[in-house]
Each structure stands twice: as structure tokens, then as C-alpha cells.
Copies of this chain bind each other. A is one copy, B any other.
Amino acid sequence: MQDKILEFLKKKEEYVSGDHISHRLGISRQALWKHIQELKDDGYDIIAVPHLGYRLISSPDRLYPFEIRSHLDTRFVGRQIHYFDIVSSTMNMAMELAMSGAPEGAIVVAETQTKGRGRLGRSWVSPKYKGIYVSLILRPNIPPSAAPLLTLLAGVSVCEAIKDFTGLDAQIKWPNDIFIHNKKAGGILTELNAEMDATRFVSMGIGLNVNHDKKIESLHATSLKEQKREDVSRVGLLQELLSRIETNYLLFCQPGRQAGWQKGTSVIIEKWRNYSLTLGKRVRIAYQKTHLEGEAVDIDADGGLLIRTDTGTVEKVMSGDIIHCR
């Protein structure tokens, strides 16, 4: 109901009569008044003037479910929203929800995380009301070995959403970092829960520095605000992101020849190549106790990075920390 009331108030920058709203929504004047009070509690600045009605002065910068859902053009991604002002980690929460049967497309959104996680148990700094910290539950009918492709899919979707919504050129540092002008602006964490031969669910986590002010994280990080020199609507960007993810995911899941996941992968990989910051670079990969150095020449059909070493052999790497040497 709150979203519908807001829709009326947002339509015009003037007073809307309470009679009009309550009549159109089929609720009593008293019920309307109660909803307005709740919206005010949520941070919406709404004034009420007798005989004129209600008027929305300003909206808070919050990722409220009814804001996200409003005009969201997806079929299932983001249709079930679990919103938290504060959460330990959206990934942990998504995992719990998925285990207890949350549907494909359900998302966990938080304004801040106390134990935000990055790859390999690293922490993810999540200043309140500044970023997008979202985890998405997917239940793809793919073998677990195909799951790394979903990290690529997420990266592509993030770059597309940023480009579309802000005009900024984002790139992907293999496997999961989002860069803008050679500075880190986000990351992707994809976790898998699977039987040996069947994926039960995937939790796709995305952390984006949106309205972070300069240097809050480190000298090598940036935010969309810093790059664009103005605040970016987190709700709008998130909606664009959810929409892009759904489009790419449906592409990815197109029935293919064998296991139902092969046809769409080439499209995702092709898109990924275009956004790659890594391909063509000289890189050094640290994986556990080994190192590998060479030129990142391509990415292959299951998401592995192909490195041509100085001896001319091409090695495939599925994981590891990568350093761009030059």
C-alpha cells in the first residue's frame, strides 16, 4: 500500500487530496493517514494541509522494498525482497533463506553489513546508506562445474547497469572485481550449494561503492559518486542491475544441446571479453603456494583464464589472486 500511496504523491509536485487517494485506493481516510504516518517514520517528508491534501517534499535515500519494486521490470529477480537496515552479511542471510526454501530471484538487501564478506573470507567494508550490498538467490539447473560462469554473468550485468544508469565505463578485473578508471568500485562473490552433480542454489553477492566519499576504503578504491561527481540513486541503479541480471540469466539458461546451460554461455563470455580489464595484460597469479606469470590471452568456455607463459605454453587458471603487472 505504501508504494501505491507514494506513486500518487510522486506523480505531481503539488498537493494531492486525501479524498482522491483514499477513494482510488479503496481505503478509509483514517487508514490513509496511518500509512502516511508510517511513511513519515520511514523518512519521507510529507506535509498535510487541510483542504489541500498531502504533498511529498523529499524521499529518504533508502533501499525500501516498495521503492525497489516500484516500476521494476523483472519477472522474478528481485520480486521477493528481504530488506535489512543492518545485517551481519547479506550472503549468510541469503544462504539461510535459500536453505529454508526461498524462491529463485529472492534478494537480500541491507543498508549496512557488520560482517560483509569478500572472496576467501576477506571482509567487505559496507558504510551505511552509501553502497549497494545485495545477495540474489538463483536455482539454475546446471552442474556445479558451470557455476563459475555465474560470476562472469554478474560482472557483465554490473558493468552494463553502471554504463546504462550513470554513463560510466566499468570494467572487470578477473575474476570478480569491478573497476572504474583503474580503481576498484565493487566486487562479486558467488557462493554455491550443491550436491556433487546438481546445483541446489547459488547465492550471488554484489557489493558496489555508490555514494562513498573519497578514500574511505583505500587509495585504490573509488565510488560511482567520486567518478561521476554527483550522488547516484541507489534504488535506480539497483533496479537497473536486477533487470540486467535477469536478462543475462535467462540468456544463460536457454535450453542447450546437453545440460541446458551451454547455449547462452558463449553470449555471456563474449560480453565479458568486452568488459575485461585483464585480457591482454601481463599478469601474475598467486594461487595457494604457486605463482604463474604471463599474458592473459583469453577466457575459456567454463570461465577459466588462459595465460600464455614466457615459455609459450598456455595454462588455464580457474582461481587465484591476480596482479596486473603492466
Q: Chain B contacts of A49 at CB under 8 A?
A: none
Q: Chain B contacts of A290 at CB under 8 A?
A: 258
Q: List the 6 closest A-B pairs by CB distance, nearest first.
A: A197-B319, A148-B196, A192-B194, A151-B196, A190-B196, A145-B145
Cβ of A96 to closest chain B Cβ, rounded Å: 8
Contact B197 A318 (CB under 8 A): yes
Taking A192-B196, A259-B287, A287-B259 as contacts, is the C-beta distance between A144 and B143 under 8 angstroms? no
B-contacting residues of A (Cβ < 8 Å)?
92, 95, 99, 119-120, 141, 143-145, 147-148, 150-151, 175-176, 189-198, 200, 258-260, 287-288, 290, 303, 318-320
Q: How far is the CA of A121 from the CA of B159 in the complex (A)?
A: 36
Taking A191-B200, A192-B194, A193-B191 as contacts, is the C-beta distance between A147 and B148 under 8 angstroms? no
Closest to A144 in B: B144
* Selected A-B contacts with CB under 8 Å, 11 pairs: A119-B195, A119-B197, A141-B288, A143-B318, A144-B194, A151-B196, A175-B196, A176-B196, A190-B196, A196-B319, A197-B319
Task: Tell me how many chains of this kind the complex includes.
Answer: 2
Most-contacted residue by chain B among A143, A196, A259 (CB, 10 A): A196
CB contact between A195 and one of B190, B198, B200 (< 8 Å): that residue: B190
Contact B191 A147 (CB under 8 A): no
Q: How far is the CA of A88 from the CA of B141 in the complex (A)?
A: 25
CB contact between A175 and one of B92, B147, B151, B197 (< 8 Å): that residue: B197
Q: Known pairs A148-B197, A196-B319. 19 more at Cβ < 8 A?
A: A92-B99, A95-B99, A119-B197, A120-B198, A141-B288, A144-B144, A145-B318, A148-B196, A151-B196, A175-B196, A176-B196, A189-B195, A192-B192, A192-B193, A192-B195, A197-B319, A197-B320, A198-B319, A259-B287
